[in-house]
Amino acid sequence: METSFFSRQASKMNQSHLNSTSEDHSPSVICSKNTSITRVVFPCLYALLFFTAAIFNSLAAWIAFHLPSSKTFVVYLKNMVVADLLTTVTILIKVISDSKLGSWQLQAFTCRFSAVVFYFTMYMSIILLGLISLDRFVKIVESFAKNLIQNPTFAKVLTVIIWIVLFSTTALPNMILTDKAPTPSSEKDCMLLKGSLGVYWHGAVIYITKIIFWTVFALMVTFYTLISKKVHESYRNSKSNDKNPKRKTKAKVFIIVGVFFFCFAPYHFVRIPYTLTQIEKGSNCEKHFVLYILKESTLWLSASNICLNPVIFIFLCKSFRQMLLKTLRFKESAC
């Protein structure tokens, strides 16, 4: 039953892909993509993102890997830094590829490897934000599973398992199944490099990643609703309304949910109608183009997460903050 469902979806995707390919080569101006946006605007935005992320994450990596992994938060922090560095590299490749500064072979490489790693690290970051939220929830609300969930060894084993499972179910199959020989014409659409099984698995991965996001989304809503209740109780029970370090520490955790919703929610909300226009027959070209621009814009927001994660580290990790200040003071005195 499930197999036939995915087969139907893959068939629809294949058909919509063929339709869009024929439309892109038709003389219709309405259905053509605005190259000034796709080749200039977005590459410039991603270039800005790359340079900012390269600076922030290089510094974050240097600090993070000088910290002992004695707390679960630090374990998740280090994993987040690795994911952000991988994303930063893929963004550089994306800039060169999308702006057509590289050869068509680079576009084929992007389709098979770089773009796959980009999405893989995006969902790894989403899962890690969920784990950090769980860690903060347990710390503040004092759950019965605190001893297990806040055990650094447990966090290390869990993250290794997640990296392996996510890579082997989403990234690796897409790399292997993008198995058609690239040509100058096929570089215009990554789906042209996939066989029928590749299209099928691509459709399956879309559903897997949707499940990942909406599961983390639901858990975050639950966690932060309960954390809000706890923070409210802290406000109410506090004798001072202005100064309470513990209360302020609890309030800081909301930066996680703020970053999560700002970066990832818009893309996944837009992705629903965009996917529908891909699979429905006779989809309006103008509508599809508008949704395409929205999808690409919100995807850039998702990528901007690699610049905002260091902010989370600064606010929520005291040892990271102290090491950062120590590093900056050293550089200042060296000058």
Sequence-ordered alpha helix ranges (H) in 142-284? 146-149, 152-166, 172-177, 196-237, 245-252, 254-263, 265-279
Q: Give whole-number Cα distances, 166 to 14, 116, 160, 209, in Å.
A: 25, 12, 10, 10
Grouping H, G, I as helix, E, B as strand and the rest as coil, residue 234 is helix
pLDDT, position 25: 36
Retrieve residue 51's tokens. 């340079």
pTM for the full predicted model: 0.84
Q: How far apart are CA 206 and CA 212, in angstroms?
A: 10
DSSP percent split of the chain into helix, strand, coil, nearest 5:
85, 0, 15
Domain ranges of the chain: 2-334
CA torsion 194-195-201-205 (nearest 10°) is 20
Buried b (16+ CB within 10 A) or exposed e, 57-87: beebbebbeebebebbbbbbbbbbbbbbbbb
Q: Write the CA distances from 66 to 43, 48, 78, 131, 207, integer angstroms.
A: 34, 28, 10, 22, 38
Q: What is the pLDDT of residue 76?
A: 96
Q: What is the pLDDT of residue 280?
A: 62
CATH number of 2-334: 1.20.1070.10
Helices (H), 69-114: 72-98, 104-109
pLDDT the model gives residue 19: 41
Report the Cα 217 to chain-centroid distance in Å: 13
Per-residue pLDDT of the chain (335 residues; tens, 9 = 90+): 444 444 444 444 444 444 433 333 333 334 455 567 778 899 999 999 999 999 999 999 999 989 998 899 999 999 999 999 999 999 999 999 888 887 878 888 988 899 999 999 999 999 999 999 999 888 888 777 788 888 999 999 999 999 999 999 999 999 999 888 877 776 667 888 888 898 888 888 989 999 999 999 999 999 988 888 887 777 777 655 555 555 555 667 788 999 999 999 999 999 888 877 765 655 677 777 888 899 999 999 999 999 999 999 998 888 899 888 888 776 544 44
Report which residue type is found at 208: I
